[in-house]
Structure 1
Amino acid sequence: MLHIERFQVNMLQENCYVVSDDTLECVIIDCGAFYPEERKAITEYIRKNNLKPVHLLVTHGHLDHNFGNDTIYQEFGLKPEVAQGDEKLMKGLAHQAETFYQMQLDTHFPPIGHFFEEDEVIKFGNHEFTIIETPGHSNGSVCFYCEAEHVLFSGDTLFKSSIGRTDFPGGSMFRIINSLRLLGMLPDETQVLPGHGEATSIGEELAHNPYMDR
Structure 2
Amino acid sequence: MLNIQRIVCNMFQENCYIVSDDTKECVIIDCGAFYEEEKKEITNYIRDNQLIPKHLLCTHAHIDHNFGNYAICKEFGLKPEVCINDKILMHKLKEQAYTFIGLTYNEEIPEVEKYLKEADTISFGTHCFSILQTPGHTPGSVLFYCKDESIAFSGDTLFRMSIGRTDFEFGSYNEIINSLKKIASSLPAETIILPGHGDKTTLKDEITYNPYFK
Please name the residue that 1:205 is paired with. 206
Residues in 2 aligned to 1:35 and 1:111: alpha-carbon distance in whole angstroms: 21
- Report the Cα offset of residue 100 of structure 1: 1.2
- 2:182 aligned counterpart, secondary structure: helix
What are the Cα deviations for residues 63-122 of structure 1, in whole angstroms up to 9, with x where unaligned? 000000000000000000001111111111111111111111110010011011113111
Give ranges in structure 2 of 5+ residues lacking alignment: none
List structure 1 runs of 4+ shifted beyond 4 angstroms: none
Give, as a single letter, the amino acid of the residue that structure 2 aligns with 1:72.
I
Which of 2-11 and 83-92 deviates more?
83-92
Residues in 1 aligned to 2:58 and 2:204: alpha-carbon distance in whole angstroms: 25
Give ranges in structure 1 of 5+ residues lacking alignment: none
Query: What's the TM-score once normalised by structure 2's chain length?
Result: 0.98
**1:193 partnered with 2:208:** no
Please name the residue that 1:158 is paired with. 158
**1:178 partnered with 2:158:** no
**1:104 partnered with 2:97:** no
Please name the residue that 2:15 is paired with. 15
Residues in 1 aligned to 2:3 and 2:165: alpha-carbon distance in whole angstroms: 29
**1:118 partnered with 2:121:** no
Residue-pair matches, total: 213
**1:65 partnered with 2:65:** yes
Residues in 1 aligned to 2:78 and 2:131: alpha-carbon distance in whole angstroms: 19
Query: What's the TM-score once normalised by structure 1's chain length?
Result: 0.98
Residues in 2 aligned to 1:181 and 1:138: alpha-carbon distance in whole angstroms: 17
Residues in 2 aligned to 1:150 and 1:100: alpha-carbon distance in whole angstroms: 34
**1:147 partnered with 2:147:** yes
Residues in 2 aligned to 1:83 and 1:9: alpha-carbon distance in whole angstroms: 22
Give, as a single letter, the amino acid of the residue that structure 2 aligns with 1:2.
L
Residues in 2 aligned to 1:44 and 1:123: alpha-carbon distance in whole angstroms: 23
Residues in 1 aligned to 2:160 and 2:69: alpha-carbon distance in whole angstroms: 26
Please name the residue that 2:135 is paired with. 135
- 2:27 aligned counterpart, secondary structure: strand
